[in-house]
Amino acid sequence: MGISRKKGKVAADQERTRSSHDAATVLNSAPASPSQNLIIRKQPAASNVKPSFARHRQARSDGAIAATALSPGNLATDLREATRTLHESAERSGVLAQMLRGNVSVQAYAMLLRNLLPVYRALEEGLERHRNAPGVRLVARPALYRSAAIAHDLATLGFTTDRLPLLPGAERYAHRIEEVATTGPCRLIGHAYARYIGDLSDGQILRKLLARLLRVSPTALTLYDFSDIADLYAYKAEYRLALSQAAYEADGEAIIDEAMQAYRLAIALSCAIETATAEPARAMRTDGLPAPV
Ligand code: HEM
């Protein structure tokens, strides 16, 4: 199973290879997406609106940076295009790939939850702190916040955070979000896109898959439960519009750049969880924590 995105097998493989390196390496490297073509879009008709960004820099296979004309108002589409190859890599990475192969244990899934918890907490604290800031105000939606659901699911599965290690990859991911919340809050929008549009999209697939694989009650999978939202499809479409609207008042190029960072961090974390759960004894000993549950 997988998202039907045909382009960029080579690029995805390269990105996957890179994702198994530590997150610092991944973060410092230029995004390699050889199959991503130049996106040239027409400017929107609304000439009275000042574009918040005019150009987006996109890495090519030769490492050169191509100037790409983007139009504000299309940010949601541009985010999808810019992260297409990274999304493919995410699906093929670490514990996420194990899930898709039907090869995931409750322990490994709990590790994923435990390590996503600080990530979502950092994101949601940042969004709340900047909920009146340009751009952020449009995407800070408590209805989407997932940290309480993650904590609930962990407890329902019988785990507590102090019994599962916090991996360096999760610390780096959460730290990056805390950093941008201080230095450039509009970058939080890139993280909100990656996590919440992801949860609204692939979360619905993962929820069914995990229920079958782990044989757990739906009450342990509330991370993907958005039943408070009456029409998920309509909500997602409206959230995409809000993302695109954000580009009129915040730095669209920075938002795209940060969404790509979000993917790299998520991929590195997925790989780290696979490693840690394959070698639980070593992972626990390194952190000085008790033996695995
Ligand atoms: C097991 C791994 C994954 C699978 C099987 C998967 C699958 C999918 C599928 C099928 C869609 C399209 C849904 C639709 O069009 O309605 C989608 C969209 C999306 N996924 Fe994932 N995904 C995975 C991992 C991730 C990760 C790790 C992230 C981010 C950290 C992510 C973020 C997104 C986003 C942002 C979208 C919306 C893309 C767009 O149209 O703008 N996904 N995913």
CATH number of 9-29+72-287: 1.20.910.10
Q: Which atom of ligand 1 is nearest to the CA of 266?
A: 30
What residue owns the CA closest to ligand 1's atom 20? 198
What residue owns the CA closest to ligand 1's atom 38? 80
Q: State residue 50's pLDDT score.
A: 29
CA of 183 to the centre of ligand 1 (A): 27
Phi/psi of residue 39, each to 5°? -105, 115
Mutate which of 201, 210, 258 for ligand 1 pocket (most atoms within 8 A of beta carbon): 201
Under a CB-based contact definition with an 8 Å cutoff, are residues 149 and 275 in contact?
A: no
pLDDT digits (tens, 9 = 90+) for 122-180: 999 999 999 999 999 999 999 999 999 999 999 999 999 888 999 999 999 999 999 99
The three state secondary structure string of the chain is: CCCCCCCCHHHHHHHHHHHCCCHHHHHHCCCCCCCCCCCCCCCCCCCCCCCCCCEEEEECCCCCEEEEECCCCCHHHHHHHHHHHHHHHHHCCHHHHHHHCCCCCHHHHHHHHHHHHHHHHHHHHHHHHCCCCCCHHHHCCHHHCCHHHHHHHHHHCCCCHHHCCCCHHHHHHHHHHHHHHHHCHHHHHHHHHHHHHHHHHHHHHHHHHHHHHHCCCHHHCHHHCCCCCCCHHHHHHHHHHHHHHHCCCCCHHHHHHHHHHHHHHHHHHHHHHHHHHHCHHHHHHHHCCCCCC
pLDDT digits (tens, 9 = 90+) for 54-110: 333 343 333 233 334 456 679 999 999 999 999 999 999 999 999 999 999 999 999
Q: Which atom of ligand 1 is nearest to the CA of 197?
A: 35
Q: Is 232 in the pocket of ligand 1 (CB under 6 A)?
A: no
Under a CB-based contact definition with an 8 Å cutoff, are residues 82 and 259 in contact?
A: yes
Q: Report the alpha-carbon distance of residue 93 to residue 101 in Å, rounded.
A: 11
Q: Which atom of ligand 1 is nearest to the CA of 99?
A: 1
Q: How many CA atoms lie within 13 A of 199 on its CB side?
A: 24
Q: State residue 19's pLDDT score.
A: 36
- Asked if the model's pLDDT at residue 37 lies above 90, the reply is no
CA of 193 to the centre of ligand 1 (A): 10
Q: Is 280 in the pocket of ligand 1 (CB under 6 A)?
A: no
Query: Who's near 61: CB < 8 A, 6+ residues apart?
Result: 11, 32, 34, 35
